[in-house]
Amino acid sequence: PQPSASAVRTAFLHFFRDRYGHQLVPSASVRPRSDPGLLFVNAGMNQFKPIFLGTVDPRSELARFRRVANSQKCVRTGGKHNDLEDVGRDLSHHTFFEMLGNWAFGGEYFKEEACSMAWELLTQVYGIPQDRLWVTYFDGNPSEGLAPDYESRDIWLSLGVPSTRVLPFGSMENFWEMGETGPCGPCTEIHYDLSAGVGPPQLVELWNLVFMQYNREADRSLQPLPQRHVDTGMGLERLVAVLQNKHSTYDTDLFSPLLTAIHQGCRAPPYQGHVGVADKGRIDMAYRVVADHVRTLSICMADGVYPGMTGASLILRQILRRAIRFSSEVLQAPPGFLSSLVPIVVEILGDAYPELQKNRSQIVSLITEEEGAFLSCLERGRRIIERTLSQLGPSELFPAEVAWSLSGNLGLPLDLVGLMLEEKGIQLDSAGLQQLSQEEAQRRSQAQQAKPAEKLELCLDVHALGHLRKQGVPPTDDSSKYNY
Ligand code: ATP
Ligand code: MG
Ligand code: MG
Ligand code: MG
């Protein structure tokens, strides 16, 4: 029998507590407490940052931590780790996910113990066949004076991983950084091969073991930390997919009740699990976006982040609007549908995160309210887009001024305008849009009256723009890019 997600989560925590004496600590809120550079908590290590930096108040509870483990609520939309644009397009990235982690502070243990504990848990406790696992280690980076991490490589070899499945990578893959600044260090990662030996390996990253040794300073330099630490993170959704024999996190018990409810509540065809061009009409992508986003919305609101006009709230509003757009336009959801999914999220995650249960009715009513307001704006936006398209020549770009006004005057975020056009195979005049946004930025800085909210909205939209350009419109077959 396959283990449930909650059994998998509990087994992780109990392994580190009972077998290796780790103290279990609760997940921190997704709203960072004292880190102005961070919009959302993006990794389990965030709450331990003062320990790494050596700035911890000796009277605080943090000062007593030596070995700890937890399951941390993480949101990766905005900042250095931003997965928003991948969500829905692949089968392994979420805007909200749970990160299982164990830590050893101040040299309590280091590489050897960290690797062997991880290997023991995966292969003996969870019973993952060894020959499905691959590992990576840091190859060094001469330009920063960083040596290759042969120590980790040799540890894996001594644990019995054949050298053909121990691969070196550079800084991009195997030097983990929390953000533009902050604790960082070389890492070694465990990946799982979905291919079952048929055809080339299809690897999905499962677990990252980071050896915290440096701090990235504002001037980009690396300064050694006062002590060395182990910091690991494994995505629960991906682990559960592996243990439930699924190729997709969406096919696990963390998501399937949501997909079922979406099918029952909308007039959409059933979920098929396709990605890229095989996903006709983007129906499956819409299922995934809606299921993903309603989890993120519920988790964030339960932690006191509400859709709004600045910072994290602005991003949450963008997520809410995306969810409403996909559910109402692509899945034909009736008005009020999105909030009806909240009780299902609470059902799935409420035992692990009781704050969901406590705030359930407030989350439902807030989403209902927002949805009502946005649906009419969406309807108007759609009509403006249709009208503009009817006046457009065969190879003409969608005019930047119209997109700009849809976003500025109507509150239809540019990333959504881009998505709506992408579906129709129409290209947006992104150069023109860039120009408009630069002019606007200039006007504002000249006037010296930029309100922070507007400034951020501008940044966000410019970011979405960059992505649109990167991606190219209309969509190509991008399924090969995604290995999970
Ligand atoms: P990927 O390369 O797949 O984007 P990552 O290298 O950015 O992952 P890490 O920062 O190393 O991820 O985070 C540790 C673990 O958290 C990953 O190994 C993965 O299992 C999980 N994880 C990371 N990002 C996501 C996400 N957006 N959704 C679900 N799980 C994630
Ligand atoms: Mg990533
Ligand atoms: Mg990675
Ligand atoms: Mg990683």
Closest listed ligand to the CA of 240: 1
Question: Phi first, then psi: what are they for 103, rounded to 5°?
Answer: -135, 145
Question: Which CA distances in Å does 275 have to 89, 272, 279, 295?
Answer: 6, 9, 5, 21
For residues 40 and 155, membership in a common domain is answered with yes
Q: 10 Å Cβ neighbour count for 311?
A: 17
Residue with the nearest Cα to atom 21 of ligand 1?
235
Among the candidates 186, 210, 243, a domain finishes at: 243
Q: Are residues 398 and 326 in the same domain?
A: yes
| Cross-strand bridge partners of residue 71 | 100
Same domain as 359, residue 429: yes
Say if 315 falls within a structural domain.
yes
**Top mutation candidate among 74, 208, 209, 482 for ligand 1, by most atoms within 8 Å of CB:** 208
Is there a domain that residue 250 lies in? Answer: no
Q: Ligand 3 centre from 463 Cα, in Å?
A: 21
ipTM for the assembly: 0.99
Instruction: Please count the other Cβ atoms lying within 10 Å of the Cβ belonging to residue 227.
Output: 14
Phi then psi dihedrals of residue 23, to 5 deg: -85, 135
Minimal-distance CA residue to ligand 1 atom 15: 234
- For 230-257, the pLDDT digits (tens) are 999 999 999 999 999 999 999 999 999 9
Q: Give the separation between CA 26 and CA 289, rounded to whole angstroms.
A: 28
Cα–Cα distance, 110 to 232 (Å, whole number): 11
CATH number at residue 223: 3.30.930.10
DSSP bridge partners of 70 = 101
Amino acid letter, 29:
S
How far apart CA 375 and CA 369 sit, in angstroms, is 10
Which atom from ligand 1 is nearest to the alpha carbon of 87? 27
How many domains does the structure of the chain reveal?
2
One domain for residues 134 and 282: no
Quick one: three-class SS letters along the chain?
Answer: CCCCHHHHHHHHHHHHHHHCCCEECCCCCCCCCCCCCCCCCCCHHHHHHHHHHCCCCCCCHHHHCCEEEEEEEEECCCCCCCCCCCCCCCCCCCCEEEEEEEEECCCCCCHHHHHHHHHHHHHHHCCCCHHHEEEEEECCEHHHCECCCHHHHHHHHHCCCCHHHEEEECHHHHEEECCCCEEEEEEEEEEEECCCCCCCCCEEEEEEEEEEEEEECCCCCEEEEEEEEEEEEEEHHHHHHHHCCCCCHHHCCCCHHHHHHHHHHCCCCCCCCCCHHHCHHHHHHHHHHHHHHHHHHHHHHHCCCCCCCCHHHHHHHHHHHHHHHHHHHHCCCCCCCHHHHHHHHHHHHCCCCCHHHHCHHHHHHHHHHHHHHHHHHHHHHHHHHHHHHHCCCCCCCECHHHHHHHHHHHCCCHHHHHHHHHHHCCCECHHHHHHHHHHHHHHHHHHCCCCHHHHHHHHHHHHHHHHHHHHCCCCCCCHHHCCC
Atom 25 in ligand 1: which residue has the minimum CA distance? 93
| 320 and 412 belong to one structural domain | yes
Q: Is residue 368 part of a domain?
A: yes
- Non-local (6+) Cβ contacts of 268 within 8 A are 262, 283, 286, 287, 330, 331, 332, 333
Q: Which domain holds residue 421?
A: 255-481
Ligand 1 centre to CA of 392 (Å) is 42
Residue from 82, 188, 205 whose mutation best tests the ligand 1 pocket (most atoms within 8 A of CB) = 205
Cα separation, 206 vs 364, whole angstroms:
33
Separation of CA 172 and ligand 3 centre (Å): 8
CB atoms within 10 A of CB 26: 10
Torsion of CA 248, 250, 252, 258, to 10 degrees: -170
Q: Are residues 266 and 188 in the same domain?
A: no
Residues 162 and 307 in one domain: no
Asked whether residue 248 is assigned to any structural domain, the reply reads no
Residue-level pLDDT, tens digit, the chain, 484 residues: 899 999 999 999 999 999 999 999 999 999 998 788 899 999 999 999 999 999 999 999 999 999 999 999 999 998 789 999 999 999 999 999 999 999 999 999 999 999 999 999 999 999 999 999 999 999 999 999 999 999 999 999 999 999 999 999 999 999 999 999 999 999 999 999 999 888 999 999 999 999 999 999 999 999 999 999 999 999 999 999 999 999 999 999 999 999 999 999 998 999 999 999 999 999 999 999 999 999 999 999 999 999 998 899 999 999 999 999 999 999 999 999 999 999 999 999 999 999 999 999 999 999 999 999 899 899 999 999 999 999 998 889 999 999 999 988 888 888 889 888 988 889 999 899 999 989 988 888 887 654 444 444 443 444 444 444 443 333 333 332 222 2
Atom of ligand 1 nearest to the CA of 42: 10
134 and 265: one domain? no
Task: Tell me the two tokens of residue 53.
Answer: 């930096």
Phi, psi for 43 (deg, rounded to 5): -160, 160
Alpha carbon separation from 97 to 75, 124, 234, 250, 267 (Å, rounded): 7, 25, 10, 12, 28
Question: ω into residue 162 within 30 of 0, thus cis?
Answer: no
Q: Which of 243, 272, 303 is the last residue of a domain?
A: 243
Show the ligand 1 pocket: residues with CB < 6 angstroms: 76, 83, 93-94, 97, 99, 176, 205-208, 233-235, 237-238
Q: Which residues surround ligand 3, an ion (CB under 5 A)?
A: 205
Residue indicated by tokens 């609520």:
73
Ligand 1 centre to CA of 208 (Å) is: 8
Is 220 found in the same domain as 298? no
CB atoms within 10 A of CB 1: 4
Report the separation in Å between the CA atom of 128 and the middle of ligand 3, taken as the mean of its atom positions.
20
142 with 271, same domain: the answer is no
Amino acid present at 276: G
333 domain residue, yes or no: yes
Q: Are residues 170 and 299 located together in one domain of the fold?
A: no
273 lies in the same domain as 231:
no
Is residue 249, in this structure, part of any structural domain at all?
A: no
User: If you measure from the C-alpha of residue 81 to the centroid of ligand 2, how many angstroms do you get, rounded to a whole number?
Assistant: 6
Atom of ligand 1 nearest to the CA of 249: 29
102: which strand partners? 69
**Residue whose CA lies nearest to ligand 1 atom number 19:** 235
pTM of the model: 0.89
Residue nearest to atom 13 of ligand 1 (CA): 233
